[in-house]
Structures are given as C-alpha cells and as structure tokens.
Amino acid sequence: MGTNNIDSAVPAEARDFSVKDRVVLVTGSGQGIGRELARQFAAAGAIAVVADLSLANSENVAKEIKDAGGRALALSVDVSKKESVDTMVTAIEKEFGRVDVLVNNASIFSALVKRPFDEIPANEWQKVMDVNVNGVFFCAAAVAAGMRNRGFGRIINISSASVHRGTKNYLHYVTSKSALIGMTNSLARELGPHGVTANCIRPGTVATEVAERAASLTAEIRQRNIDLQCIPRTIVPSDLVGITMFLATPAASFITGQTIACDGGYTHSF
C-alpha cells in the first residue's frame, strides 16, 4: 500500500492555531468587548496591548492580565486623532518591536441616543465618524508599514449586525460600521501580497458591563433580538473570542477580505 502523504503536503502554518508571543493591539479595550478580547489573547500567550481613551481603564485591565500571569501593556489613545495613534504605535514598537495583530474595536455606541436621522446633530455625526471610521483608518495606517516589512500581520475590524438589518434611529452608527466593511475589503486587496490579512467581524447585540442610554436598548428590544437568533440567548463578549483569535493565527493566512457574522444566527433570520 502507498504511504499517505496528505499531512506532509500541508504547510505548517495551516495547522498553527497559536497566538503565543504575538503582540496584539486591541483598541477600546478598557471595557466591554475589547477588555474580554485583550484578557483572552493574553491568556492564550499573546502580549496584549490594552489601549483605551481612559488610561485608568487600560491600567485596570492590564493589571487583571498581569495578576493572572499574562503579559500586557497599558496605553492611552484617542483613535480619532492621528497624532495620538502614531504615538501609541511608536510606544508599542519601542517596547516590543512590532504589532502583529490589530483589533479595531474602539467605537462610539453606548452613549448615543436613538433619534431620527434628520435630528442627529452635525457635531454628533462627525464625532461618530471620527472615532468609528477615521480611528480604524488611522490605526491600520500606523501598523501597515511594519506588517508589510515583516510579511505578517492581521487587521481585524469590529463592525455590527446593525449594518445588515439597517437599524433605524442610529444612522450615524450604522453608516460608520458599514464603512468598515468596505474599508476591510480594500485593505485586504492592498495588503494581501505582503502576507497581511484584513477581516471584519459583525457581532450582534452584545451585553457588556458598559452602561447604555436608557432609551437605546430596552429589555423588550433585547428580547426581540434574542428571539430572532438561531441560538436564543444573550450574546456576551466571550462569544467573539473564538473567531477573533482564529483570524489572528497563522492558520487563517488564506482568509482575507471577509465579513463574518458572530450573532447567534440573528442575520440568518433575514
């Protein structure tokens, strides 16, 4: 009988599901989804860069990670300002020499009040675009050169299921999260030849410790969302860990330009 050579033909990276020793930058990781992602990347052996507008929040999460035996660096960043983003990336590169994985999680949502689109104040619209769109662009641009030079990089953008369902009275938020899908597609085209992937995750309504405006997500609305899911339970931050971590690994090297729903099948209902 002949020898089975299937395994020997598979590149080693195709079986590498590890993020050990990777430098993983998670923006907006002082709380909520970002906090859980940073904690779990560190638990898996990565070096977590906890970056948040609030340095106190960043330091609290970094302490949690270190107390659990992980490695972390706490930084303050205002992703809406290019200079702040560049300073952050310079600090990371000075400390670790590189950024291997960028998770663009920082965004404005919980503080927004639902209202008809033509009642959204111009300054509020602009602030959402500055953080949710420009911030992703600034962060991706700041890490791109290093990733290209090293021939490895992962950019993971956090969008929203609201894009698919066209949630009303959140036009600025939905528009900003829609923009990330197009941005991801173009990043994938430009960076793919250099061994850098860009993907987008589209979570559903995630319950976190972050307080929301009372009029935004009532218990009734949350239950309605759950009822539309194939897996009818509350979505929690840890539900996003698996897909995010997988996309960060060498095993995901041939996956790029994709938007992947992680919403318990919510958008499958449409």
Q: Is the pLDDT of residue 29 over 60?
A: yes
- The per-residue pLDDT for 14 is 86
Tell me, yes or no, whether 178 lies in a domain. Answer: yes
pLDDT bracket for residue 268 (50, 70, 90): confident
Name the percent of the chain lying above pLDDT 90: 83
258: containing domain: 16-269
- The per-residue pLDDT for 3 is 53
- The per-residue pLDDT for 214 is 40
Q: Is the pLDDT of residue 4 over 60?
A: no
pLDDT bracket for residue 219 (50, 70, 90): confident
- The rounded distance, in Å, linking the Cα atoms of 232 and 229 is 5
Q: Is there a contact between 142 and 27 (Cβ–Cβ < 8 Å)?
A: no
Average pLDDT over residues 123-147: 98
Tell me, yes or no, whether 11 lies in a domain. Answer: no
Q: How deeply is 191 buried, as exposed, middle or buried, from its count of CB atoms within 10 A (0-12, 13-18, 19+)?
A: buried
More confident residue, 215 or 91: 91
Tell me, yes or no, whether 78 lies in a domain. Answer: yes
Least confidently predicted of 104-108, 124-128, 207-211, 256-260: 207-211
Average pLDDT over residues 156-176: 95
Least confidently predicted of 67-71, 137-141, 181-185, 230-234: 230-234
Q: Is the pLDDT of residue 215 over 80?
A: no
- The per-residue pLDDT for 41 is 98
Tell me, yes or no, whether 32 lies in a domain. Answer: yes
For residue 213, give the nearest of 110, 60, 77 by alpha carbon.
110
The Cβ-side half-sphere exposure at 58, using a 13 Å CA radius, reads: 21
Q: Give the chain's domain count.
A: 1
Tell me, yes or no, whether 256 lies in a domain. Answer: yes
Tell me, yes or no, whether 109 lies in a domain. Answer: yes
- The rounded distance, in Å, linking the Cα atoms of 266 and 262 is 9
Active site residues: 173
Least confidently predicted of 4-13, 196-205, 219-228: 4-13
Tell me, yes or no, whether 120 lies in a domain. Answer: yes
pTM: predicted TM-score of the whole model, two decimal places: 0.94
CATH for 244 = 3.40.50.720
- The per-residue pLDDT for 67 is 98
- The per-residue pLDDT for 86 is 98
- The per-residue pLDDT for 270 is 61
Tell me, yes or no, whether 112 lies in a domain. Answer: yes
